[in-house]
Amino acid sequence: MKPQVNVDGGAPFCSGGKAAKEQVNEVLKLVNDRRTLLVEGKQKNGNSGNQLPPAKGMTKIGWSCELEKAATKNLNSSCPNVPPGDGKGRAEIIKTENNTSNENLATVMGKVLASIDTKTFSYLDTPALHYTSFADANYANLVRSTTTELGCVFKTCPEGKGENYTLYCLTNQKPVAVGDVIYEVGTGVCSGCPQGTFCEVDSKLCAPTLDAPPGETIFKDFKCRNSLIAEEWRTNMLEVHNENRRRLAKGSQKGEGGALLPTAKNMNELIWDCSLEDAAYERAAECTETVTPPDGYGAVSSMITTKANPCNATSMAEQAVQDIWEKGSEKQANNTKVAGNDDFSQMAYYKTNGIGCSYSWCDGKLSLVCLYNKDGSAKSVKKLFIKGGAGDTCKRCEPNNNQDNCVNGLCQVPLSYVHSPSTICPKNAVSVTDNLRTIALDMHNYYRRQLAMGWAKDKQITYAKAAAAMPELVKCSFE
């Protein structure tokens, strides 16, 4: 008996494919139902007695005919116990067993997903769920929040007097590695959907906007929590930074003496980071002339004098950033970092790909702070970018040192997850976020304040007596 790629349930889902439409739909339902359980925080973690943390930004998975075709090709004519390998480095899911129960594509996928119900999933407990070497890689790859496509093949092979089956799938993400984020921790509701998706009411997953019914809310903004800052302000601050970097990368930025600076082979596009925005706001609110960024980060700040608080600070902040850039570029003769030109170094450092800015009003002045996820003024930085000649823009984009991820002069490199910097408890920035600390402190102090002022209700005497001295909770030493 020859190895056979099985078609169960009627016509194939993909033209020329083997996976039946009915089976594909069942597989997608199984996978997405498990992802919904994670969003809701209702997925039990094996026999630990605990639930896995709720997920945010969890996308809805769809079927990819291209991935199904690639999976069929990779598996060839065997039923291996280990992944056969994928030439494009995509994540592989595999399960091979003796076929004693007339299994099919959907029933075996159900078994793969059900492993989490009995086997405890090991992870690093931080504001995001990180993969460890002790965890089930099949499950991790299937529930990774950034995975949006799946393609599988189901095959049976003769084994003695019976047969074995193999379920083999590919996703559109790289295999999860130790330390990689599986998903960010949420609050039990659909949140943090990436751009181009909407929050699907029934599944609580982030579904592609092309699937959105009329009236659904599409997430197009930055999704940062500070509602006092306008989206227009964020957009303009990001655009002015990237436009300056793009001009530099293309060799059209004037430098010292009006001469054009060299082109950049590897200038990254900046991406807005809400955690950096939060950290920038904390520093802007201090209303100081200079700011200290978290270790390993860069900062640019400006105290702008103004007669009144305009309703929109966009033009003022944008002009301040442009002035800092132009002033700094006049000191640059080439791509070498210039001592004392730190602000320009922060804005022009090629490795930087994350930015977050904020502002605060301070006695007739606007305190503007921008934080960057790399420190362009660090002693270790000698060159701001790899210089090139005409036509060399983007020739060395990371990570593959080519132009594959170049868009309009800038290299598009995704942000990697880092722990949000803490200004409250810097020595414990991993386990608890400053946002959670602030909420916990504010709630505790709110009730202590109610008690201190005599507004705390008591069932026996209506109101408890006012406290003679009630100190505010501020310390984090017990954390």
Taking alpha carbons only, the member of 58, 5, 65 closest to residue 33 is 58
pLDDT of residue 265: 94
- Alpha-carbon distance of 371 to 276, in angstroms, equals 6
What CATH number did the domain enclosing 146 receive? 3.40.33.10
Confidence band, pLDDT 50/70/90 cuts, at residue 219: very low
Report the pLDDT averaged over residues 94-100. Answer: 88
User: Does residue 41 sit in the same domain as residue 179?
Assistant: yes
Supply the mean pLDDT for the chain. 84
413 and 393 in one domain? Answer: yes
Number of domains in the chain: 3
Q: Are 92 and 73 in contact (CB under 8 A)?
A: no
Q: Give the C-alpha distances (Å, rounded to integers) separating 344 from 92, 275, 300, 455.
A: 44, 22, 9, 53
Place of tokens 């056979």: 4
Q: Where are the beta strands (DSSP E) in 284-393?
A: 298-305, 354-362, 365-372, 387-388
Same domain for 404 and 431: no
pLDDT at 273: 86
Give whole-number Cα distances, 199 to 173, 193, 209, 215, 218, in Å: 21, 7, 9, 12, 7
Q: Which residues are bridge partners to 128 per DSSP?
A: 184
Of residues 209, 262, 265, 303, the one with CA closest to residue 402: 265
Query: Cβ of 77: how many Cβ atoms within 10 Å?
Result: 10
User: How many CA within 13 A on the CB side of residue 451?
Assistant: 13
Same domain flag for 408 and 449: no
pLDDT band for position 120 (50/70/90)?
confident
Whether 330 has a pLDDT exceeding 50, the answer reads yes
In a domain, 224, yes or no: no
Find the domain containing 248 and state its range: 231-421
129 backbone dihedrals φ, ψ, rounded to 5°: -85, 120
Among 95-104, 173-182, 218-227, 368-377, which stretch is predicted with the lowest mean pLDDT? 218-227
Q: Are residues 116 and 163 in the same domain?
A: yes
Report the pLDDT averaged over residues 176-189: 87
Shared-domain flag, residues 304 and 370? yes
pLDDT for residue 171: 96
Give the model confidence (pLDDT) of 247-272 as tens digits. Answer: 999 999 999 999 999 999 999 999 98
The H or E element spanning position 63 is strand 62-63
Asked if pLDDT for residue 426 goes beyond 70, the answer is no
Q: How far is CA 435 from CA 107, 109, 127, 278, 303, in A?
A: 42, 38, 11, 9, 26
pLDDT given for residue 216 in this prediction: 42
pLDDT in tens, 344-397: 999 999 999 999 999 998 888 899 999 999 999 999 999 999 999 988 999 999
The verdict on 116 and 239 lying in the same domain is no
- What confidence tens digit (pLDDT) does each residue in 292-305 have? 998 889 999 999 98
469 and 403 assigned to the same domain: no
Looking at 173, 192, 219, the residue that finishes a domain is 219
Residue 225 included in any domain: no
Burial of 418 (0-12, 13-18, 19+ CB in 10 A): middle
Q: What is the pTM of this model?
A: 0.49
Q: Percent of the chain beyond pLDDT 90?
A: 50
Flag whether pLDDT at 162 surpasses 50. Answer: yes
Amino acid (one-letter) located at 406: C
Q: Report yes or no: 299 and 293 within 8 Å, Cβ to Cβ.
A: yes
